[in-house]
Chains A and B, each alone.
Chain A
Amino acid sequence: ETGVTQTPRHLVMGMTNKKSLKCEQHLGHNAMYWYKQSAKKPLELMFVYNFKEQTENNSVPSRFSPECPNSSHLFLHLHTLQPEDSALYLCASSQDRPGGYTFGSGTRLTVV
């Protein structure tokens, strides 16, 4: 365990489904991130939250909707995804920016 916990570990969903990914960090960090890692591209930054405020949206399609209710929790709500959205979704947190990130183990998402 790295201190960043992601659930579920694996998710299979249809293109019309709505699902949510959850990330929780137990490190007292103030910044949280969503990354996408796929077979075609390595690590793509999606969203950044700092003290619950979204500070970066890296041109992510609106079918991905993040939510950060507090500094310890981060969600990624998924709706009408496409098969090309199948990937490993990684959450990370950090205390100071710049600084090292602590990653969770990821959610392996398959869209069918």
Chain B
Amino acid sequence: GENVGLHLPTLSVQEGDNSIINCAYSNSASDYFIWYKQESGKGPQFIIDIRSNMDKRQGQRVTVLLNKTVKHLSLQIAATQPGDSAVYFCAENIGGNTPLVFGKGTRLSVIA
């Protein structure tokens, strides 16, 4: 499927454990960040977003952390489940009306 052939970073996690997926973004002026999940055969789906005036935001089983000092974004998934297996992308808005810039993605594999 899509992303096969790409040397995506891969994270393998035991079911029930917590997952942390990291993303280094490119532009210190970026003011809005999003995490997307893409399952095989589907388009990317919105998970959670965060604006640059925050450093943490929580959703259901997911938390996004933003460290503007080192331009780093992370997605934490609590109690990882087999249904969490997918490719995860971070995206940043670098300002104004420019389109989102997407990262290369990380493949999460959950071991049952």
Interface residues of chain A, those whose CB is within 8 Å of chain B, are: 2, 4, 6, 33, 37-43, 45, 48, 50, 55-56, 87-88, 90, 92, 97-106
Task: Please report whether the interface of chain B is mostly helix, strand, loop or mixed according to DSSP.
Answer: loop
**Inter-subunit contact A103/B45 (CB<8 Å):** yes
**What per-residue 1/0 map shows which CB atoms of B34-46 lie under 8 Å from chain A?**
1010000111111
Q: Which 10 A-B pairs have the closest CB atoms?
A: A39-B5, A103-B43, A98-B93, A43-B102, A88-B2, A37-B2, A97-B97, A103-B44, A98-B32, A42-B104
**Inter-subunit contact B3/A39 (CB<8 Å):** yes
Which residue of chain A lies nearest to B87 when distances are taken between CB atoms in the complex? Answer: A42
A105 to B2, CA, bound (A): 12
**What per-residue 1/0 map shows which CB atoms of B51-95 lie under 8 Å from chain A?**
000000000000000000000000000000000000001000101
Looking at A33, A38, A42, A104, the one whose CB has the most chain B CB atoms below 10 A away is: A42
Which residue of chain B lies nearest to A39 when distances are taken between CB atoms in the complex? Answer: B5
A40/B5 contact (C-beta < 8 A), A45-B99, A98-B93 known: yes
Looking at A39, A87, A100, the one whose CB has the most chain B CB atoms below 10 A away is: A100
**Inter-subunit contact A106/B5 (CB<8 Å):** no
Which residue of chain A lies nearest to B100 when distances are taken between CB atoms in the complex? Answer: A101
- Find chain A residues with CB under 8 A from B31 CB: 98
